Amino acid sequence: MDNAAAIQLFPNPSSGTVNISYSTKTNGPVTIELWDETGKKLGTLFRGEETGGAHEHTLDIPKELHGAFFARILADGTTSTAKLNVQ
């Protein structure tokens, strides 16, 4: 990916814990959000300051969530999105 903040989700599909891996080019604010297929924001998974480089966060998926979702990262003045399938 050529985006400043490339995002990867694994395992995908998932039914429990998901690792969110991304890298940023610069120091600064980072926000990671979870959205459903209809475009509804379900919540903010992470909001904070990060240094440039590789980062990883772990998300526990609630058992009642099933279907396709999107994780969106806002960093380095850009947005990157990755699809997450929850079984």
Write b or e for each residue in 21-59: b if 16 or more Cβ atoms lie within 10 A of its Cβ, otherwise e: ebbbeeeeebebbbbeeeeeeeeebbeeebeeeebeeeb
pLDDT tens digits for the chain (87 residues)?
A: 344 467 899 999 998 889 999 999 999 999 999 999 999 999 898 999 999 999 999 988 878 888 999 999 999 889 999 999 998
What are the boundaries of each domain within the chain? 7-86
Percentage of residues in the chain with pLDDT exceeding 70?
A: 94
Whole-number mean pLDDT of the chain?
A: 88
pLDDT at 3: 46
Question: What is the pTM assigned to this prediction?
Answer: 0.84
Domain 7-86, what architecture? Sandwich (2.60)
